[in-house]
Amino acid sequence: MRQVVVTLLSVLSLVLACTPTLAPTATPTPAPTTTATPSNPCPSMTPALVVKIVDGDTIHVLIDTQDYRVRYIGIDAPETVHPTVGEQPYGREASARNHQLVLGKAVCLEKDMSETDQYGRLLRYVWLENGTMANATLVAEGYAQVTTYPPDVKYSQLFLSLQRRAHEQGMGMWGLAAPGSETPVAGRCDPAYPDVCIPSPPPDLDCADIPYRRFRVLPPDPHRLDANKDGVGCQG
């Protein structure tokens, strides 16, 4: 407990530049023009301390001594505990990597458009002191895949490019063999949708059944997700 209190006090005096260099393989976005100061450690963001890891995409943080549950924007990690799907392949690994990335660390929380999700969790991009974003790192290393819910789409194209690279290189869950078989997880994704993981039919899926928006579609588009045949699926 004493360690948490000491670490929390350090958050108040932390000087974070929060320069968004994202994951090591990411294309840098323009750096903020505002310089951090001791009284404002996260320019245009909210300073917080990560005190608990729920799974690969959800954490608990302290903001001004109050506990908040935070859901990472734009990504979805495999489940570790779920009422219907149970534990999914690579869920424990994703949770462990998230633990390694952020637990006990001072972070900056960046809001997109929405404040919370339907479960009351804060929706945020989570920036580390070294200038990397946890959301992007988990996608780049294959611990999570892109899940886009408009209007929170600020980094969606970046996440898709990171996922494409992770998929091509067989990173993390993209190179994982399914239990009892030699088939990699990526092999269960239909090749007509190379940048996201959408399984081949059956069943037949439509845009309301999947979390992705504005992704690349190649023929034959078995789910008919590219309604106007322009090579981009689920644009609405």
Among the listed residues 134, 112, 108, 105, the one whose alpha carbon sits nearest the alpha carbon of residue 46:
108
98: three-class secondary structure by DSSP: helix
CA dist., res. 193 & res. 212, Å (int): 11
112-121 — which CB contacts under 8 Å span 24+ positions?
A: 112/73, 112/151, 112/152, 112/153, 112/154, 113/151, 113/152, 114/151, 114/152, 117/71, 119/69, 119/71, 120/69, 121/58, 121/69, 121/70, 121/71
The one catalytic residue among 79, 93, 110, 141: 79
Q: Answer yes or no: 71 catalytic.
A: yes
Distance from C-alpha of 4 to C-alpha of 65, rounded to nearest angstrom: 11
93 tagged catalytic: no
Catalytic residue chosen out of the listed positions 69, 121, 164, 224? 121
Q: Is 121 tagged catalytic?
A: yes
Cite the active site residues. Answer: 71, 79, 121
